[in-house]
Amino acid sequence: MEYLLALVLLVSMCYAKVEVEEESFFPEYIHPCNFTDDDFEKCVKEQIEESLPYFAKGIPEYSVPSIDPVDLNDIVIDGNGLKLKFSDTKMHGLAGLKLTDLKIQLGGDNESFTLSLKGNLSLTAQYNADGRILILPIKGEGDAFINCYNIEVNISSNLTHVKGKDDKEHLKLLAPKYKYDIESTTFDLKNLFNGNKKLAETTLQFANENWSQLMDDLAPPVVKQIVKTIVKTINKFLSKVTIPRIIIGYKERL
């Protein structure tokens, strides 16, 4: 009987130790911020700056998948005499984006979260084009390479409190809104006009000189996917971390 009690006690101690280790575990680049500190917002900003590259590569410990590159849906531009389709599209560069602004409102009735990210992004895809870019004809299919320079995306979102699968309280970004600005874009479409180099160079030069008009159609679905991916990744992480663990001194509501 004594051996049985000892065995039960030993198992209980080991289980408790595992619980504590799992509850206290954080990757070394994630550090909770103290809500009662005057520099709370500064702490959050520094935390995001430090952890952003890791988030982009994925955090297996929290079931957060890699988001660099990001698989995009097919993108179709169909209008003004041009039909241009991009398929098997991938977006590269989220890991290299830099945080340029952050505002976080916590503790009141209307909690919110706003951040701005800036950097260079590139897209690789298979394209199929037929029609005209303004005054020039364009026709071809093959590999596409698109580079967007100094793209800045501003995301504003409400913050809400939800009960997680662990029956504990978590933060969640809700109803995000966004706006963006792009400094410049270059296009490289291989095999235009069945490899006619002269026609291809003329058309690509014209497209790159008038990149903003092409991006009026191309940018919205791409930026929408950027925002969707970032918000989904943040919420995935928050769903795994209770509020008291990530924000020290913050009073739960639920």
Give tens-digit pLDDT for 184-201: 999 999 999 998 999 999
For residue 120, being part of any structural domain is answered with: yes
For residue 254, being part of any structural domain is answered with: no
For residue 61, being part of any structural domain is answered with: yes
- Dist. CA 81–CA 208, nearest whole Å: 18
What average pLDDT score do residues 60-75 get? 85
What average pLDDT score do residues 83-103 get? 93
Q: Residue 119: which CATH number? A: 3.15.10.30
For residue 7, being part of any structural domain is answered with: no
Q: Is the pTM of this model over 0.95?
A: no
What is residue 22's predicted lDDT score, i.e. its pLDDT? Answer: 40
For residue 10, being part of any structural domain is answered with: no
pLDDT exceeding 70 applies to what percent of the chain? Answer: 89
Query: pLDDT higher for 3 or 121?
Result: 121
- Dist. CA 121–CA 96, nearest whole Å: 8
What is residue 82's predicted lDDT score, i.e. its pLDDT? Answer: 87
- Dist. CA 138–CA 128, nearest whole Å: 10
Phi/psi at 175 (nearest 5 deg)? 55, 55
Number of domains in the chain: 1
For residue 113, being part of any structural domain is answered with: yes
Residue range(s) defining the domain that contains residue 145:
31-248
For residue 156, being part of any structural domain is answered with: yes
For residue 236, being part of any structural domain is answered with: yes
